């Protein structure tokens, strides 16, 4: 069970849940800081930008998305998640051992399985900033719709 404490009502509900838990089997309770995943606004902005970049480059928005994940999101996750970093290092080791085609296949699969849904708001903001920076370097000016951009980038 996962409970996120934001309000006094959440705290009261949590205490009630705890009071009603059985003592057998033995339970473990963990309290950790909540990390908010990427927002719906960030998701919408990413797909808007992927669509525009794709149209400018003659690619599908899905191809743009996969390239951006590989180029920007994989390094963000590698930096922030030791388990993810271990997986990336394993791919690099396969490459170092001379199995370049196999390493490339593995890298593509890692990219496909890498999802923005696991990104924190801060990670997603960093990802979007990188997309915007590269688009600008290609002469592609991405729109910043007030309603979506302000919320998406206010990490």
Residue 26 falls within a domain, yes or no?
Answer: no
Distance CA 30, CA 28 (A): 7
Residue 136 lies in a domain: yes
Is 58 a domain residue? Answer: yes
pTM above 0.75, yes or no: no
DSSP states along 70-121: IIIIHHHHHHH-HHHHHHHHHHHHHHHTT-HHHHHHHHHHHHHH--GGG-BH
In a domain, 2, yes or no: no
H/E segment holding residue 130: helix 121-137
- With respect to residue 105, please indicate whether it lies within any of the assigned structural domains: yes
| Domain span at 44 | 40-152
What are 24-43's pLDDT values in tens digits? 999 888 887 765 556 888 99
Whether residue 12 lies inside any domain: the answer is no
Predicted confidence (pLDDT) per residue in 90-134, tens digit:
999 999 999 999 999 999 998 988 999 999 989 999 999 999 999
Angle at 16 between CA 15 and CA 20, to 5 degrees: 115
Residue 6 lies in a domain: no
Q: Kindly give the interhelix angle for 40-57 and 61-68, rounded to the nearest 10 degrees.
A: 110
Distance CA 68, CA 94 (A): 23
Domain count of the chain? 1
Establish if 100 belongs to a structural domain: yes
């Amino acid at each position: 069970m996962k409970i996120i404490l934001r309000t006094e009502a959440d705290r009261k509900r949590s205490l009630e849940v705890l009071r009603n838990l059985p003592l057998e089997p033995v339970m473990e309770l963990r309290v950790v800081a909540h990390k908010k995943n990427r927002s719906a606004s960030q998701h919408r902005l990413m797909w808007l930008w992927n669509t525009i970049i794709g149209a400018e480059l003659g690619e599908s928005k899905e191809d743009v998305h996969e390239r951006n994940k590989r180029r920007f999101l994989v390094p963000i996750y590698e930096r922030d998640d030791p388990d993810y970093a271990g997986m990336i290092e394993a791919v690099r080791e396969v490459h170092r051992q001379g199995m370049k085609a196999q390493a490339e296949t593995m890298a593509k699969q890692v990219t496909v399985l890498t999802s923005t849904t696991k990104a924190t708001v801060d990670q997603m903001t960093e990802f979007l900033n990188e997309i915007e920076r590269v688009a600008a370097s290609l002469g592609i000016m991405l729109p910043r719709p007030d309603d979506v951009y302000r919320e998406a980038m206010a990490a």
